[in-house]
């Protein structure tokens, strides 16, 4: 993908590769294309356009013209990949939970994700080796 200069093409590819958008994603709402969809706009127009800003779910739902449960679904998917972090923010005079790209930097966020995946894979390998050894003793 390094030879592609269109940020939207690279973004779509990345979001499919990491499982945020399913391959062949077909928006179920009034969106005509993937780029008009809530998950794409949430990621590109808000999280990536302002990676250091912590957004409340209420704020994102209002800006994207959707429901809070829809925003939570997409936020939770990105959180499960360790790409987002939660922090307290003031919204409408109250302290609420806000979400932003981890460390305000996607490259750093991805490094954190990679480290967690590598640690998990190492733990799986150790468990498999141990299991194999125990199985052979039976």
Q: Domain of 97: which CATH number? A: 1.10.10.10
| Greater pLDDT, 31 or 15 | 15
pLDDT in tens, 1-26: 678 999 999 999 999 999 999 887 77
Evaluate if residue 118 carries a pLDDT over 90.
Answer: yes
Domain that holds residue 11: 7-136
| Domain annotation covers residue 2 | no
Q: How many domains does the chain have?
A: 1
Is 1 part of a structural domain of the chain? no
User: Residue 51: is its pLDDT beyond 90?
Assistant: yes
Q: What is the full DSSP assignment across 22-80?
A: -TT---SSS-SSGGGSHHHHIIIIIIITSTTPPEEHHHHHHHHTS-HHHHHHHHHHHHH
Query: Is 91 within a domain?
Result: yes
């Amino acid at each position: 993908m390094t030879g592609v200069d269109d940020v939207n093409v690279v973004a779509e590819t990345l979001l499919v590769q990491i499982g945020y958008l399913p391959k062949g994603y077909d928006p179920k709402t009034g969106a005509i294309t993937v780029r008009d969809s809530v998950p794409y706009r949430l990621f590109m127009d808000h999280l990536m356009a302002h990676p250091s800003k912590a957004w409340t779910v209420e704020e994102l739902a209002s800006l994207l013209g959707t429901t809070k449960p829809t925003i939570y679904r997409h936020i939770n998917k990105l959180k499960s990949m360790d790409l987002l972090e939660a922090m307290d923010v003031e919204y409408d005079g109250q302290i609420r939970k806000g979400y932003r790209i981890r460390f305000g930097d996607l490259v750093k966020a991805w490094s954190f994700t990679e480290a967690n995946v590598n640690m998990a894979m190492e733990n799986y390998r150790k468990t498999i080796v141990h299991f194999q050894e125990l199985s052979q003793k039976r």
